[in-house]
Amino acid sequence: MVPLVRVTPDSHDVAIDLLYATADNFTHKPVYKTGAGCFLNAEAEQLLRRAVDLARPLGLRLKIFDAFRPAEAQWVLWNHTPDPGFLADPRRGSPHSMGAAIDLTLVDGDSGAELDMGTAFDEFTPRSHHGNQDIPAEAQRNRHLLMGVMTTAGWDFYRNEWWHYQLFNARAHHPVLSDSVLGPDRMMP
């Protein structure tokens, strides 16, 4: 069994809002069961801790929208919207399904308010691309700040999604994991 590390607000000083456990995602229905939990593989969890430590002195915290995504969940998302510009083809494997990717944003450390990133999480348009200049300057600065924190902590970024960070060469070093890796099923029936 490949070890996954549970990430919680208390253990990692992060905010967590797993949007695929709600209907507030592009499929408009829950993909995960409520209380599915947030997990990363051990290598990614260590990089998350570094990113948290880099954000804290700036008065910022990280808010996680998704982390480990079982292969079955990747199929649900792909079957709904088979867009290779924004979703990894499950036949190839997603770094999320390896516990090697995280979707997140920055929030104010005191109020918890999300910083403006110019688009919502999972807006599958060119406005979500890193370097897009069709969004307000403040949102561009916030994206650069997020990228600075994450890449300084050792993460790779995906150019089409300001919210997505992953381990370098994840597919070469980590297996795709199914829903069963955590024991009780976390997917919706």
Q: DSSP assignment of 68-117, as one string?
A: ---HHHHHHHHHH---TTTS--TTT--GGGGT-EEEEEEEETTT-PBPP-
Phi, psi values for residue 140, rounded to 5°: -60, -45
Quick check: 133 and 127 in contact, CB under 8 A?
A: no
Catalytic annotation, residues:
161
b/e map of 104-118 (b: 16 or more CB within 10 Å)?
bbbbeeeeeebbbbb
